[in-house]
Amino acid sequence: MGKSVLLLCGDYMEDHEAMVPFQALQAFGIAVDAACPGKKAGDICRTAIHDSAGYQTYTESRGHNFTLNATFDEVDFGKYDGLVIPGGRAPEYLAMNESVLDCVRKFSDSGRPIASVCHGQLILAAANSVKGRKCTAYPAVKPVLIDAGAHWVEPETMKACVADGNIITGATYEGHPEFIQLFVRALGGKITGSDKKILFLCGDFMEDYEVTVPFQSLEALGCHVDAVCPKKKAGDTCPTAVHDFEGDQTYSEKPGHSFTLTASFEGLDASNYDALVIPGGRAPEYLALDETVIALVKEFMHSKKPVASICHGQQILAAAGVLKGRKCTAYPAVKLNVVLGGATWLEPDPIDRCYTDENLVTGAAWPGHPQFVSQLMALLGIRVSF
């Protein structure tokens, strides 16, 4: 029987800290229910983007709207194998909610895995679930955890994670790869075939989710993942865009997180990598005009290595002339590029539908990440088994 977990949501939870575990775990074959007190399946939670910008504390801006897929009042806490608690500002008020604390205590008392990140540990403290346990968190949560009887572990970096028994804690979303991997292992998962090197082709104002979710998902599996951008080097950042569906005739855009590149584009040797991932957003519009980008994409496609492209990323594939005779999907507005590029158009109905055609995985938009990542995993021979 497959594993299932509960994601405990609230308004203004941190955007990445909700969506990355939600979609990564689904990509690994785990069913995830996202529920929020006072809301039902189909309702949304607002999210917050917390980012470092050189101030004495983090900045906040509006993130994506997160759609719940479960109704909190109808949830049977006993049926889940684990619990995930995102951070952000939501935990401040959720920690005051007795139904939330009752939920957490049920998981804690039964010894089932609980993974909590950033400010989520406020809820663990309120539920009296950290007494005598080693915990980390965003540093501002330290006094509360100490007062709750936890053994505080100072995060040396914002990637820090700590596992103590069934409790897994992380400092921030930067540590998602280890955080998610620890949780999968706590659920009894075994990861095989992940000794792969994967390259992400990045650019300014690529879509926030479309780079971060697959990037951290693949790292969580144990893959070596590099992110590069033309004319930038390792340690530089790319700004990202939040593209969302808010009732207008096309998507809206808001500023996203800053994304840190891990490798330099200049001198890149594509032969060192097993696969290429192309995020969407607005970056592909200008990357498609860069001859070094076109040459890189052609090299991966001609060598038959897996290439996974989502949303507007297919603008680059079309410009590279590698779609002739292929079958693919994309964000519907990119259909013109795909068809003129010589491909057979596959309708993304529903919008989370993804397709694999030989070495090519294509998706229409970020709601399709679970399929998108799992189909790339299949091409690479990566498995998560329980």
Concatenate the DSSP letters of all residues of 8-37 into one string.
Answer: E--TTEEHHHHHHHHHHHHHTT-EEEEE-T
CA nearest 3: which of 193, 186, 161, 182? 186
Predicted local confidence at residue 53, as pLDDT: 85
Tokens of 213: 């979710």
Is the separation of the CB atoms in 280 and 310 below 8 Å? Answer: yes
Tokens of 132: 């005598």
Predicted local confidence at residue 186, as pLDDT: 98
311 is annotated as an active-site residue:
yes
Considering 223, 312, 328, 369, which one is annotated as catalytic?
Answer: 312
Q: What's the CA dihedral at 217, 219, 225, 229 to 10 degrees?
A: 50
Q: Which amino acid, residue 236?
A: D
369 is annotated as an active-site residue:
no
Is the separation of the CB atoms in 35 and 112 below 8 Å? Answer: no
Is the separation of the CB atoms in 361 and 307 below 8 Å? Answer: yes
The answer to whether the pTM exceeds 0.85 is yes
HSE-up of 54 (CA within 13 Å, CB side)? 0
312 is annotated as an active-site residue:
yes
Considering 45, 118, 202, 238, which one is annotated as catalytic?
Answer: 118
Between CA 317 and CA 341 the distance in angstroms is: 8
Considering 135, 223, 311, 354, which one is annotated as catalytic?
Answer: 311
Phi, psi of 326 (to 5 degrees): -100, 165
Helix/strand/coil for 357: strand
CA nearest 186: which of 166, 162, 170? 166
No. of H helices and E strands in the chain? Answer: 12, 24
pLDDT tens over the chain, length 386 residues: 799 999 999 999 999 999 999 999 999 999 999 999 999 999 999 999 999 888 999 999 999 999 999 999 999 999 999 999 999 999 999 999 999 999 999 999 999 999 999 999 999 999 999 999 999 999 999 999 999 999 999 999 999 999 999 999 999 999 999 999 999 999 999 999 999 999 999 999 999 999 999 999 999 999 999 999 999 999 999 999 999 989 999 999 999 999 999 999 999 999 999 999 999 999 999 999 999 999 999 999 999 999 999 999 999 999 999 999 999 999 999 999 999 999 999 999 999 999 999 999 999 999 999 999 999 999 999 999 99
104 DSSP assignment: H
Between CA 133 and CA 150 the distance in angstroms is: 5
**119 CB contacts (<8 Å, ≥6 apart)?**
14, 87, 88, 89, 90, 91, 92, 137, 138, 140, 141
Cβ count within 10 A of residue 77: 16
Catalogue all structural domains in the chain, each as residue range(s) with its CATH number.
4-188 (3.40.50.880), 192-385 (3.40.50.880)
Considering 16, 50, 64, 119, which one is annotated as catalytic?
Answer: 119
328 is annotated as an active-site residue:
no
Where does residue 225 rank: exposed (0-12), middle (13-18), buried (19+ CB within 10 A)? Answer: buried
The DSSP annotation for 87-100 comes to: -BSHHHHHTT-HHH
Helix/strand/coil for 147: helix
